[in-house]
Amino acid sequence: MNTPERIVIVGGGLAGANAVEELRERGYEGSITLIGAEDHLPYERPPLSKGVLLGNDPPESVFVHDEDWYTRHEVELVVGSPATSLDTQARLVRVDEREFGYDKLLLATGSIPRHLAAVDKSGAPAGYLRTLEDSRNLKEHLSGHILVIGAGWIGLEVASAARQAGAEVTVVDPSEVPLEKVMGRELGEVFAGLHRDHGVDLRMGTQLSEISRTDDATHVRLSDGHELWPDLVVVGIGVVPDVALAEAAGLQVDNGVLVDQRLRTSDPAVYAAGDIANHDHPRLGRIRVEHWDVAINQGRHAARAMLGDETPYDAEPYFFTDQYDWGMEYVGHVGADGYDRVVTTGEAAQGLRAYWVKDDVVVAGMHLNDWDAIGTIRKTVGGPLPDGV
């Protein structure tokens, strides 16, 4: 394979930044252009709902590199405007009136928060958490009574930050327990207990029925008949992959941009990584993962693939969360076939390990507050339960 002379990366997040870094570390000397929609250097998002939102980390800590790094590594940064079109025949990316030609292209456009129309139309003070500006704005309003819609990762991390800032917090979600789709009922109950112990009014099996704004007050009625008057509504009901550019260019799209085992799209000159990549995993089948670790590793893998590496991307998904004084790490993927049982050892406060088992094979594992466990858990996923569990 001929080494590409021009590589363009569309996306200013972790996947894009790590692809750039990997290219230069591998000795690639051709031109690199990185296009980012936001008016920032490429940055990582986990701190937005953790350290930055809590005020423990300064906003500038999110940036992967400073501007001087990109200058020294001869990377052309085009930030502040999204890519407006992609012509795969001519191999051109357009940003407004500017055109950037490529030999290889990486799409890493990330995802967009799902919106709740009733909240948007109500005129109530409301927030979504995806960008650095979102985090900064939300941090300034973590007071009074906050209604969080959604008991997933973002919703629970916002609830944790808000309680630690002294706000009254109500969380609403139609599931029976938090994180039910990810962890199942057993571990979801553990997180429910954590938040209730910290004073969160956790209303599971419930959803928003009505919301209105009058006389500078927001009135909310829930499906269980409960009424409340929050000062701020935070919507955390998940994200959708930002595939508009890929779809308009004619690439194959289905719950993300379809990529093969090497992260190559239906166009052999175009790759995708991170939130938008619906990946043909060698062991797990079709999977799209919206987590920090996958963005890093897929960005780097795509860089190597664009330089001719034929190795499939086969890493197990990994994610983590910090809530109150708890920390958790999770490795693996339960998948559509589900699991037969969850086996746990220990207690959450002192250190808990959990294994999701299907047909006597550990398909996923996690720990709570057991920071020596992650290496063992990584080795266990894909095999039998460890002796003594």
Distance CA 276, CA 345 (A): 35
Question: Which residue type occupies 334?
Answer: V
CATH fold of 115-235: FAD/NAD(P)-binding domain (3.50.50)
The reported pTM is: 0.94
DSSP letter for 249, please. Answer: T
Of the candidates 44, 18, 33, 77, the one whose C-alpha atom is nearest the C-alpha of residue 298 is 18
Q: Which residues in the chain show pLDDT less than 50?
A: none
**In the prediction, which pLDDT does 63 show?**
95
Classify domain 6-112+239-306 by CATH architecture.
3-Layer(bba) Sandwich (3.50)
Per DSSP, the three-state class of 327 is strand
**In the prediction, which pLDDT does 95 show?**
97
Residues 169-178: tens digit of each pLDDT: 999 999 999 9
**In the prediction, which pLDDT does 1 show?**
56
Distance CA 275, CA 317 (A): 12
DSSP 163-197: HHTT-EEEEEESSSSTTHHHHHHHHHHHHHHHHHH
The residues facing 241 across adjacent strands are 111
Distance CA 328, CA 178 (A): 15
The residues facing 362 across adjacent strands are 357
Supply 149's token pair. 């819609």
Domain positions in the chain are 6-112+239-306, 115-235, 325-380
Distance CA 117, CA 121 (A): 6
Of the candidates 359, 358, 265, 365, the one whose C-alpha atom is nearest the C-alpha of residue 305 is 265
Residues 31-54: tens digit of each pLDDT: 999 999 999 999 999 899 999 999
Per DSSP, the three-state class of 375 is helix
**In the prediction, which pLDDT does 348 show?**
86
Mean pLDDT rounded to a whole number for the chain: 94
Cα diameter, the chain: 66
